[in-house]
Structure 1
Amino acid sequence: MRRLTFEATERVAPSAPERMDVACFVGFVRRRPESPVAAALSRYLFEQGWMTAPTLRVDPSDPQHPLTDVPLPFESFGAFERHFDWRARTGLTPDEPTALGAAVRAFFAQGGRKCYVIRMADPLPPEQDRPTRLQRLNLLLPGSRLPAPPGMEHAASAIDRTTWHGAAHLFGLPDVSFLCLPDLPELVAEVPEPLPVPRLPPLGAPGFGPCVIPLGEAGPQWRTPEREAPRCDLTGYQDWAGFLAILAELLRDRRLRETHLIASLPLPSASLVFDTAAGKRTAMQDMGRFLHEHGLLLPFQSAFIQLAYPWLQTAGSVGLPENLEAPEGVLTGVLARNALLRGTFRNTLGLSLVDVRRVFPIPSTRDLTPRLPEAGPRGLVERVSLLGPTPLGLQVLSDVTSSNMASHRQAPVSRLLSSVLRAARQMGVDLTFSASNETTWRELRYQFEAMLGRYYEAGALRGANRGEAFSVRCDRTTMTQDDLDAGRLVVMVELDPAASLERLHVRLSSLEGGVTLRQEDAA
């Protein structure tokens, strides 16, 4: 024997079943040429069945495969960048970045540690007409628009892997907690307007100036496009809301109840105005009232959908139109960091935004002011998770879901319930083949009490003791005879989330000579 060679076998480490920080991005990006598929990814795709029939979507003999419509796990932005050229939207020179790449970069920059990326196709050219862009919604979620693309005519089914396309891959990703579709605002937007011609400074007296000599090799050839960031008119917002309603229906499946959709609220067109009692207003002046007046949140309002606004300028958005990117990548990264460091049930209100230079538009006092129920529609801060400036820098200003019900509006509570559901599902798997008798019921009750006890000790539940914080029942009172005959095991769980008090309304009345305190619905 002349020599001994050690070869390290790379593989994607499986996620812990209780993780609540993993995201999934679905969208459009170019495959990086001359970049072979990493050995760890090839092994993962083979183990997951994407290299064999009947779900053969990746050719194992082609190292340059485009990797289309398969979930790819990444634990760093560098790993994603090695496989996808996110700064090459058109493949020409000069070029511009892609929305998907900017969102993945923002996720890792904010503290995210793992995400899946599902590439559905190359990005469309910026000048593409709107009907063609709308048809791309079918790739994000097949069946969302008709006709469906070839090979995607059948509705997604949790038990049929051949129907998993786009966002429907969530059925095979049980560790995902957040779903993001960064390309959605551009797909529903109106035709982008060119940016106004900048005014040149007045000519001054001739003189000498510093001579700048370029050093080193020239950087990548890309430039900021001379067009506006994606903006929506009323039709665009209606298409956006209709698509989110279809996604909300998908997430209502009992197998996906632990997944939250993080979606960006599109920017409004400058010409979009609506009537108020005080006269006409542009949508950007009062987004909360605009959304209410046109019922744009009604089709999809849910405790499992979280909207993000306003749009952001980051280091990764340089080269995008107006140097702005959709905020969902940043918010998802903050939520992932919060889950890893503090617990997913903690409120992200006040957490700092990393690598964010500015927000557009800056949330106004009208956006940030909650409104009493008798004062009309809710303020934007009560239905949308806002990001913006504070005396301590750019931070999260509200952490809410899109639900219209006050009890379901606090996003930390919704994430807590998702975490409990995920833990309960794992316990149910362990006892699937156990006999349904008193011993099994007692064992399951003990497991639930131990699990909820850990949440209580971590501060997720409130109460002077465990008995006040939660209760668990699993006996003949929770199951009917039909349940017993069918082998169904039913556990009744009641818990009291430790919802934080985010705002206290103080009313001072000099006429009445008193002070009234009232807790506001959580923002």
Structure 2
Amino acid sequence: MAIPGISFQTIDPATAPDPNRMDIALFAGFVPLRQRNVPAAVRRQLAETGWDFRLSDTNGELIDVPVRLDSLSEFVNVFDGAARPDRIAHITSLALPEEVTVENDAVDVTVVVDGHVVHLQLPAGTLPRDEVRARLATALDGLVVVSFVEEADATFLRLERADRTTAGHITIYLNPAIGFPRSSTDRTQLVGCPLAAVVGAFFAAGGKTCYVVRLGDPLPLNASEAERVQQLSTLLTGEEGAWPAARFISDLIGLRPRPPASASADRTDWHGLGVLNGLEDVSFVSLPDLPDLLASGAPGYGTADPVRGVPEIFQECSEASDVALDGSSHLLTPPRSDSVGLTVWWTVVKWLASSLRRTSFEHMAVLSLPLPDDTINDAYSDFLDDLFTREPFENPAHDPQFAQVVFPWLKGAGAETLPGGIMPGEGYFCGAAGRAALERGVYRTVAGRPAPQVAGLVPSDASGLNRDMGPGRRLSLFGAGIGGTQISSDVTLSEDPDWHPAAVKRLMAMIFRAARHKGELSTFEPSSPRLWRDIERNIGGILRQVYLGGGLRGAREEDAFSVTCDMTTMT
């Protein structure tokens, strides 16, 4: 029966995850939302997977939840990967005295913000500078944040565009009385963010499904070191303000982040990478923002504050901006790390590998090696060799097999919107490995596979890192092939020859996952010879499929594997 004003729509239920898949990646990091209202399809997905409670915790914002995506178009519908501000537009005056003298010809103050023209008339005479700031703040409320900056026993007036997330500009017209001897303009333009580029490369390489755990908006490119350190704490812990005392990357030397919450903890305590406890089908774990947050601030990458105190700083920024008006982000220098940043990066790699080992044997961290800055560029291989030797894994027999490190960085495949037009290679690598797992089996290496979407490598010589010797042996490298770029090596960080090939780790993770699912069906069965035989048969069936597919060596099945479940295997 039709009811006036009410219509019904049939919606197919969300596809249940296939726990036996070994191709799915999880990307955690920072990316803007395309819209603040959570799309209906995503809201429904979160409700069906038990994550909708967090929407209430975050006032409806899509943050700290795993969003499952089966295509790049689904990502684009939810996230705006090209909306990272290059800077927060602001203008800083010359030093102001405590008492500001306003002549009759300087009573008018004109500020333009994104096309909004604001006129303020100051009274002629002498005004305390605090009153000047207060009058400006009232007139520009909602458009501009007006504050004082103290530096070197001097006080400067700072006008900062209030909107920190969209492109726009701020202009103040000449007014020497309040510290602006000429008209000045600054603007915010938008560039891409690492997480979006890496997810795009994942799908470009043939990846089919991934999860994105958004932990907030990305910082502007010229964010201060203190801001980047605090965002790194959010990335690793899933919570803001986890390291309140840390202001510099050097403060993180010797860092020991707490591990993600375990599966036994309440779901409400699963933050950041802790959401892996609720995802049975993830194989690869990636943190695309890590190199960006540990950058040393090399020349051309941006600075936290403009130079103050000399009239020459007041220039139109549109001509000198690092990002051209057409969004040519290739003019920016990509993030590079010095010895301190790389030491902290290595600490994070070891921590993540150890955390994944404790969480599940089925996961593999895939991270990108940062680019070196000028202080270590000429001796990068020697520096890494020393770092890997000087700072070994806490559990060297097991932890290294849970991580792959990818290098060099990639051109093309969606990197055009990032600084320098290059991006970390981990997303493409995960996509290629995932595609190979679906098409050829997880036990096949991806070394030698072409990477046709990759237009070039930076650095082109992989900083002298060789897959056959030195620290390069522990890296999964891209390189030049006969027909173009290819994946040259596919290895874990382990130096154990049994666990060095990454395909071995992926194969064992697949066997472990399949065995776990078989065992879950027998969890409440009484222990008996009948159950033991069922387990032997089930696990044997899994290994037989691997053997027939070429994943195990042996002229005969009995030479390749055996399964025993009896009193001799029990404690």
Q: Which category describes the TM-score, using the shorter chain as reference length?
A: 0.7 to 0.9
Which residue is 1:92 aligned to? 166
The runs of at least 4 aligned residues of structure 1 exceeding 6 Å deviation read 2-6, 143-146, 296-300
| Partner secondary structure for residue 261 of structure 1 | strand
Q: Which has the higher contact order (CA 8 A, sep 6+)?
A: 2
Match of 1:163 in 2: 269
Map 1:489-500 onto structure 2 (within 5 A).
none
- Structure-2 residue corresponding to 1:517: none
What residue is the counterpart of 1:265 in the other structure?
Answer: 369
Q: Is the 8 A contact 1:291 1:297 kept in 2?
A: no
- Whether 1:348 aligns to 2:443 is no
- Give 2:534's aligned residue: 443
Deviation at 1:92, TM superposition (A): 3.1
Deviates more, 1:429-438 or 1:236-245: 236-245
Q: Secondary structure at the match of 1:307?
A: strand
Structure 1 residue 379: Cα displacement:
4.5
Quick check: 1:249 aligned with 2:354? yes
CA deviations over 1:153-204 (Å, ceiling 9, x no partner): 99612122122111111111110000000000111111131179xxxxxxxx
| Amino acid of the structure 1 residue aligned with 2:355 | L
Larger mean Cα displacement after TM superposition, 72-81 or 400-409: 400-409
Instruction: Decide which moves more: 107-116 or 285-294.
Output: 285-294
TM superposition shift of 1:230: 1.0
Match of 1:323 in 2: 421
Following the alignment from structure 1 to structure 2, what is the Cα–Cα distance between the partners of residues 363 and 232? 18
Which residue of 525, 545, 550 maps to 1:459? 550
* 1:368 partner SS: coil
Aligned partners of 2:204 and 2:413 also within 8 Å: no
Q: Report the structure number with the largest CA radius of gyration.
A: 2
Structure 2 residue aligned with 1:132: 227
Query: Which secondary structure state, in structure 1, belongs to the residue aligned with residue 191 of structure 2?
Result: coil
What per-residue deviation string (whole Å, max 9, x for no partner) do you get for residues 355-408 of structure 1?
A: 21100112369533624xxxxxx350x100000211221100000001122221
Q: 1:431 to 1:285 in 2, by over 3 A?
A: closer
What code does the residue aligned with 2:293 have?
L
Alpha carbon RMSD of aligned pairs, Å? Answer: 2.9
1-structure distance, mates of 2:570, 2:392: 41
Whole-angstrom CA distance in 2 between matches of 1:153 and 1:468 = 44
| Mapped partners of 2:423, 2:446: distance in 1 | 21
Corresponding pairs, count:
433
Residue 257 of structure 1 aligns to a residue in which SS?
coil
Distance in 2, Cα, partners of 1:369 & 1:250: 27
Task: Work out the CA distance in 2 between the residues paired with 1:413 and 1:192.
Answer: 39
Q: Which amino acid is the alignment partner of residue 207 of structure 2?
A: G
Paired position in structure 2 for 1:504: none
Deviation at 1:220, TM superposition (A): 9.6
| 1:143-162 equivalent positions in 2, closer than 5 A | 147-148=242-243, 156-159=261-264, 160-162=266-268
> Which residue number in structure 2 is paired with residue 102 of structure 1?
197
Q: Give the C-alpha shift of residue 320 in structure 1.
A: 1.2
Matched with 1:33 is: 35
Distance 1:188 1:257 in 2: 28
2:278 equivalent to 1:283? no
Which residue among 472, 475, 480 is the counterpart of 2:566?
475
Distance verdict in 2 for CA 1:185–1:364, change over 3 Å: closer
- Offset from partner CA, 1:239-267 (integer Å, 9 cap, x none): 111122221221121x4210000000001
Greater mean deviation of Cα atoms: 240-249 or 117-126: 240-249
Match of 2:300 in 1: 194
8 A contact 2:362–2:509 mirrored in 1 = yes
Structure 2: runs of 5 or more not aligned? 86-164, 168-188, 245-256, 303-323
Cα drift, residue 50 of structure 1: 2.6
Do 2:362 and 2:510's aligned partners in 1 also have CA atoms closer than 8 Å?
A: yes
Contact 2:354–2:402 (Cα < 8 Å) also in 1: no
Select 1:384's aligned residue among 460, 469, 475.
475
TM-score between the two structures when normalised by the length of structure 1: 0.77
- Residue 353 of structure 1 and its aligned partner are, at CA, apart by 1.0
Verify the 8 A CA contact 2:17 2:281 in the aligned structure 1: yes
TM-score by length of 2: 0.71
| Cα separation, partners in 2 of 1:364 and 1:106, compared to 1, 3 Å | closer
Aligned equivalents of 1:257 and 1:235: distance in 2?
31
Q: Is the 8 A contact 1:463 1:469 kept in 2?
A: yes
The 2-side partners of 1:240 and 1:342 are apart by 33
**1:229 matched residue in structure 2:** 334
Q: What is the alpha-carbon distance in structure 2 between the residues aligned to residue 412 and residue 318 of structure 1?
A: 31
Identity %: 36
Structure 1 residue aligned with 2:489, among 398, 408, 413? 398
1:3-22 equivalence runs, <5 A: 7-22=9-24
CA distance in 1, matches of 2:375, 2:484: 31
Cα pair 1:19 1:175 within 8 Å, conserved: yes
**Partner residue of 1:370?**
468
Match of 1:238 in 2: 343
- List gaps (5 residues or longer) in structure 1: 60-64, 197-218, 274-281, 372-377, 481-523
Change (3 A) 1:220 1:424: farther
Matched with 2:48 is 47
Which one of 266, 278, 281 corresponds to residue 175 of structure 1?
Answer: 281
CA distance 1:220–1:398, change in 2 (3 Å): same
Instruction: Supply the AA of the counterpart residue of 1:335.
Output: A
Give the CA deviation at 1:478. 1.1
Match of 2:97 in 1: none
Contact 1:155–1:163 (8 Å) recurs in 2: no
